């Protein structure tokens, strides 16, 4: 039997100050019936500890498989290791640690791309014979399970990523919409861009072609190599009605969107936003 406790839209904070931090998703646990021999009514949950700061998932009411899908963010400062424990809730005798894993901070810093892993938990037969602190083992690669369906031992699925201060600088863009605006006797196209940081944080910026063109012009003064990047030119037709129909055609707008998006993503990848204040201000980069 599988119990599901899904709170994937929520995010708990543990001693949290935005950067650096560790993102942890407690996904699921399997084969917990192996612990039922040592607990009359198993009520498993996961506790995350960082120094004196602690947080936990919801308690399950099963001794079988559990799906939590709960997200946590842990400050990356001020601790040597992160401890993740499988707990049994007992309101009479007090909660006990069934199994625990200690992840050294130096290891977590290597997981800058999301690390998805199934880990083998401590042999249930040893739980009663060990002191609580002895149930917590330092994570090593031989604890990782690559074929979870083929194992009968208790296992836990985690998704872990480390985000250092450099994550603030890794941004991608996508122009998701455009709208023809008529205002104060002028007609122009306004583009809507979504900027996404490596940690998944995103925000929207609305801009006109002329604004990005001006920013690009200022950037080229400092970085002439950017002149070689393809960029849409201004519409240059003599007759006003032809000019308007061409300038605001769906095809013309779509072409501009594609070329501007390529320009933006190249300059973001090369982190020109860190070198040019005009570009940084154009992006409206939030500080958090």
DSSP 199-265: TS-EEEEEEEHHHHHHHHHHHHHH-GGGGGS--PPPP--SSHHHHHHHHT-HHHHHHHHHHHHHHHH
Q: What whole-number distance in Å separates Cα of residue 48 and Cα of residue 27?
A: 13
Contacts of 208 (CB under 8 A, 6+ apart): 188, 189, 190, 191
Contacts of 117 (CB under 8 A, 6+ apart): 144, 157, 158, 160
Q: What whole-number distance in Å separates Cα of residue 57 and Cα of residue 85?
A: 11
- At residue 242, the pLDDT reads 46
Q: How many CB atoms lie within 10 A of CB 234?
A: 8
Residue in the block written with tokens 């021999």: 37
Q: Among 82, 161, 179, 158, which residue's Cα sits nearest to residue 116?
A: 158
* Global model pTM greater than 0.75: no
pLDDT digits (tens, 9 = 90+) for 3-45: 555 444 444 444 444 578 899 999 999 999 888 776 678 899 9
Distances (CA, A) of 209 to 128, 205, 229, 233, 270: 68, 13, 16, 10, 21
32: left (phi over 0), alpha (psi -120 to 50) or beta: alpha
Residue-wise burial string across 173-202, b where 16 or more C-beta atoms lie within 10 A, e elsewhere: bebeebeeeeeeeeeebebebebebbbeee
Distances (CA, A) of 171 to 17, 104, 200, 215: 20, 28, 10, 18
- At residue 126, the pLDDT reads 66
pLDDT digits (tens, 9 = 90+) for 160-219: 999 887 776 789 999 999 999 998 889 999 999 999 988 788 999 999 999 999 999 999
pLDDT digits (tens, 9 = 90+) for 43-93: 999 999 988 889 999 999 877 899 999 999 888 877 889 999 999 998 887
Q: What whole-number distance in Å separates Cα of residue 196 and Cα of residue 172?
A: 5
pLDDT at 104 over 90: yes
Q: Among 37, 35, 129, which residue's Cα sits nearest to residue 85?
A: 35
Token digits for 45? 């949950």
Residue pair 48/81 in contact (Cβ under 8 Å)? The answer is no
Q: Among 23, 62, 33, 12, which residue's Cα sits nearest to residue 153?
A: 33
What domains can be seen in the chain, in order of their start residue?
Answer: 2-163 (2.60.40.150), 167-283 (3.30.1520.10)
């Amino acid at each position: 039997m599988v119990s599901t406790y899904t709170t994937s839209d929520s995010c708990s904070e543990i001693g949290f100050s935005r950067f650096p931090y560790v993102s942890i998703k407690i996904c699921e646990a399997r084969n917990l019936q192996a612990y039922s021999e040592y607990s009359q009514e198993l009520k498993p949950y996961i506790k995350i500890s960082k120094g004196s700061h602690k947080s936990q998932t919801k308690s399950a009411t099963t001794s079988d498989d559990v799906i939590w899908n709960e997200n946590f963010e842990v400050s990356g400062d001020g601790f040597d290791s992160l401890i993740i424990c499988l707990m049994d809730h007992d309101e009479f005798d007090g909660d006990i640690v069934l199994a625990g894993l200690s992840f050294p901070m130096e290891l977590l810093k290597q997981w800058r791309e999301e690390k998805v892993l199934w880990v083998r938990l401590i042999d249930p037969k040893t739980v009663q014979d060990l002191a609580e602190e002895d149930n917590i083992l330092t994570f090593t690669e031989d604890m990782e399970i690559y074929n979870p369906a083929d194992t009968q031992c208790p296992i836990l699925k985690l998704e872990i990523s480390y985000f250092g201060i450099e994550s603030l600088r890794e941004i991608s863009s996508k122009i998701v919409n455009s709208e023809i605006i008529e205002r104060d006797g002028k007609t122009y196209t306004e583009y809507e861009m979504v900027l996404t940081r490596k940690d998944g944080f995103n925000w929207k910026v609305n801009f006109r072609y002329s604004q990005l063109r001006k920013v690009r012009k200022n950037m080229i003064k400092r970085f002439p190599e950017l002149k070689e990047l393809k960029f849409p030119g201004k519409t240059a037709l003599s007759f006003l009605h032809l000019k308007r129909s061409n300038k605001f055609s769906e095809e013309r707008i779509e072409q501009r969107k594609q070329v501007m998006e390529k320009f933006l993503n190249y300059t973001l990848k090369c982190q020109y936003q860190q070198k040019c204040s005009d570009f940084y201000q154009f992006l409206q980069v939030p500080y958090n």
